[in-house]
Amino acid sequence: MHEFVLEALKLGLWRQLDVRFAYMLLAATTNLHQYNALMLAIITLSAYINQGHVCLPLFILSPSRLFGGEHLFLANEIWKKIGNLSISQWTELLLVNNTIVSNGSYLAPLVLDKGRLYLYRMWNYECSIAKFFYYSSRQLSNISIKENNKIAKLLNNFFPDVTNLNNKLGYRNSNDIDWQKIAVAMTLTSKVTVISGGPGTGKTFIISKLLAIISLLYSNCSLIVKMAAPTGKSVARLNESINIMNQQLSLVNSDFRKTTLSIEVVTLHRLLGMSLYHQNIQRVKYNFLCLDYLIIDESSMIDLSMMAKIIKYLSAKTKIIFLGDYNQLPSVDPGSVFLDLCYFIGKSYTYKFSQRIQNLTNYTLPYSSENEYSITDTLCLLQKNYRFSAISEIGRLANAINSGNQHHVLSLLTSRMTVDICYMVVKDREDYFKMLFKCALGYINYFKNIVSCSCIDLVSILNIFNEYRVLSILREGPFGFIQLNVLIENILRNYGLIHSVDNNDECYVGRPIIVTSNDPSLLLFNGETGIILPDDNNQSDLFAYFMLSNGKINKVPLHKLPKHETNFVMTVHKAQGSEFKYVSLVFPDKITPILTKELFYTGITRARNRLSIYANDKIITHTMQHSYNRYSGLVDRLKHYKEL
């Protein structure tokens, strides 16, 4: 078996970490056949977790699936060594080694549960998450008739009904339902609410109206609300919802002067007391203490471990709201919890819940008294897009990608009628340099604004830069963001827009940067973006300026900056939670496993007004044919709880 392990390492199919982990667990195993089979199972499990999966389904342990259907000769040689084991034989072999693998009833490094092999930690996380959402979905707040009427009145004030006639007659279809109103009603009456919707469906709007309603509903109480998101950009958008809330309050109630809500907006890492090396448990408990509402945006980016930590510290009285877009990329780390939860979207609500919502909103939701999954009572899908109209090209492209219709996608991209979308086929060296030139042109207005200002308006410059961004799929190579950044810099330098200071190519006025490590002392976290600009008082001194989530400017000396990179180009993963007026999306020229329709969708929906795509038809077709498919048992666990 050792020679096959070395070959897989050489081909980059497994990591040294995967192999060392298996060696450590099997140190006391003496049976050679069991040793070889367990070696394969443990290494594959470790490799799959590195790819973002939560577990290893046993059906993967076959020659045709082991390496994604590739390297069949190596896979078949391994199977000759261990024998052609059926799933039942794998189950028996794994469980007989009870010091390494358990069935979950006792502690062991690995757990085999319903044909899935887990690390114990991942299995425990998944079980706790399933238990939380199942039992939380069955907790409807007790509301008196008086309180019900008060909530209904506030909902009607904030969500005026434009279809009164249909409402009175009781004739409505799903297109008539105001799902924003439904979402807010759910958050007011449920322990947990999961709201999914694409860009422009009004998630920020929902947060602002929820805050406004609970301000009025509990005006005599001092409620504590925390809002959190994975990235600084998402946190900034949550702060915008507070401003919108104040505007809404003044419109609905002119006598209302100041909210009694205590609202704090933080990153998820700060909420969870997490730093690079440890988690401050006491800080976490304090953060969650006495919370009335916890609102989390961009929840599709929450991995299994982080979700388990969030629910672990919630108090019994806290209502929690998750907002996100299940069509977007999943988290970087293992798990796709938000997507797994949204699996139940479209299934009928319970009768009891449907009646509650009807009493509050006068909308009738589809319900069923049979085959009820109570988890559906926590889910709301926002179905109307307020940013992209029915004729919006970007909106139509997003819908085509989500539906998996590759022919419609290519038709939209190659149509000569499109105005908002530019599709440039990159097939050779000449096309590549045309692409670079066009990507660089997008930043000329930004540099002209810097040069033309005798006194630089920091907020204005930061906002102008954030109007446009080049997004890449890869990190390395000619189509990766590292090389693209260098080449775009060179083009702008040749145009006389970049002037290096002290012969340092990384030090110049207008250099955009993105932070790649956390430094809480400087209020800088991974993914924060800023710009190097001169000091107001001394033009020869350069500082890095960042827009904080509260709208204030954070000024940082260059020598104190944590690790950072140039940010003319950023990856689609890093751009999650951000939006720009104009986006250039650069695909690689070769097929790579990272190309999926979720990544495509996430990239194009960063653009609000205009979009340029640099690719070729073969790459687009391959991308549309592949999706993220992360293995977990969460959906099955939630179904299993239904049977209890």
Domains observed in the chain? 1-113 (1.10.10), 135-164+177-387 (3.40.50.300), 393-625 (3.40.50.300)
**Res. 243: pLDDT tops 60:** yes
pLDDT score recorded for residue 168 = 46
**C-alpha pair distances (Å), 592 with each of 167, 387, 588, 610, 619:** 51, 32, 8, 26, 9
Task: Report the alpha-carbon distance of residue 492 to residue 512 in Å, rounded.
Answer: 13
Name which of 76-80, 256-260, 572-576 the model is least confident about.
Answer: 256-260
Name which of 19-23, 195-199, 457-461, 483-487 the model is least confident about.
Answer: 457-461
DSSP result, 264-327 = EEEEHHHHTTB-SS-B-HHHHHHHHTT-SEEEESSGGG--HHHHHHHHHT--TT-EEEEEE-TT
pLDDT, tens digit (0-9, with 9 covering 90-100), for 590-633: 999 899 999 999 999 999 999 999 999 999 999 999 998 899 99
320 close to 348: Cβ distance less than 8 angstroms? no
Q: What is the mean pLDDT of residues 625-642?
A: 89
**Res. 321: pLDDT tops 90:** yes
pLDDT score recorded for residue 520 = 76
**Res. 238: pLDDT tops 90:** no
- Among the listed residues 225, 223, 227, 221, the one whose alpha carbon sits nearest the alpha carbon of residue 240: 227
- Among the listed residues 618, 570, 623, the one whose alpha carbon sits nearest the alpha carbon of residue 427: 618
**Res. 101: pLDDT tops 80:** yes
Task: Report the alpha-carbon distance of residue 576 to residue 244 in Å, rounded.
Answer: 23
Helical axes 597-604 vs 617-624, angle rounded to 10°: 110
Average pLDDT of every residue of the chain: 87
Task: Report the alpha-carbon distance of residue 530 to residue 466 in Å, rounded.
Answer: 10
**C-alpha pair distances (Å), 76 with each of 4, 31, 69, 79, 432:** 11, 22, 11, 5, 41
**C-alpha pair distances (Å), 609 with each of 11, 155, 582:** 43, 32, 6
**Res. 330: pLDDT tops 50:** yes
Distance of CA 348 to the CA centre of its chain: 26
Question: Which of residues 234 and 275 earns the better pLDDT score?
Answer: 234
Structure tokens at 586: 């650069």
pLDDT score recorded for residue 471 = 97
Task: Report the alpha-carbon distance of residue 277 to residue 272 in Å, rounded.
Answer: 13
- Among the listed residues 58, 112, 117, 64, the one whose alpha carbon sits nearest the alpha carbon of residue 86: 58
Which DSSP state fits 350?
Answer: P
Q: Of 144-158, 390-404, 470-484, give the range with the top mean pLDDT.
A: 470-484
**C-alpha pair distances (Å), 315 with each of 134, 218, 338:** 16, 19, 21
pLDDT score recorded for residue 165 = 40
**Res. 455: pLDDT tops 70:** no
Q: What is the mean pLDDT of residues 21-26?
A: 94
Residue count of the chain, please give it. 644
Bridge partner residues of 265 (DSSP): 227
**C-alpha pair distances (Å), 24 with each of 18, 19, 27, 110, 425:** 10, 9, 5, 13, 50
pLDDT, tens digit (0-9, with 9 covering 90-100), for 114-130: 999 999 999 999 999 99
Task: Give backbone dihedrals phi and psi of 456, rounded to 5 degrees, phi first.
Answer: -70, 125
Q: What is the mean pLDDT of residues 395-420?
A: 90
Q: What is the mean pLDDT of residues 395-407?
A: 92
Torsion of CA 436, 441, 444, 446, to 10 degrees: -90
Q: What is the mean pLDDT of residues 448-456?
A: 72
**Res. 19: pLDDT tops 70:** yes
pLDDT, tens digit (0-9, with 9 covering 90-100), for 545-603: 998 766 788 999 999 999 999 999 999 998 988 889 999 999 999 999 899 999 999 99
Q: What is the mean pLDDT of residues 213-238?
A: 84
- Name the pairing type of β-strands 224-229 and 262-267: parallel
**Res. 373: pLDDT tops 90:** no
**Res. 280: pLDDT tops 80:** no
Q: What is the mean pLDDT of residues 518-537?
A: 84
**C-alpha pair distances (Å), 553 with each of 258, 531, 559, 562:** 26, 11, 18, 17
pLDDT score recorded for residue 276 = 46
Structure tokens at 252: 């609905």
Q: What is the mean pLDDT of residues 531-553?
A: 83
Helical axes 2-10 vs 32-50, angle rounded to 10°: 20
In the numeric block, the tokens 């219709």 are attached to 405
188 close to 154: Cβ distance less than 8 angstroms? no
**Res. 323: pLDDT tops 90:** yes
Q: What is the mean pLDDT of residues 443-465?
A: 82
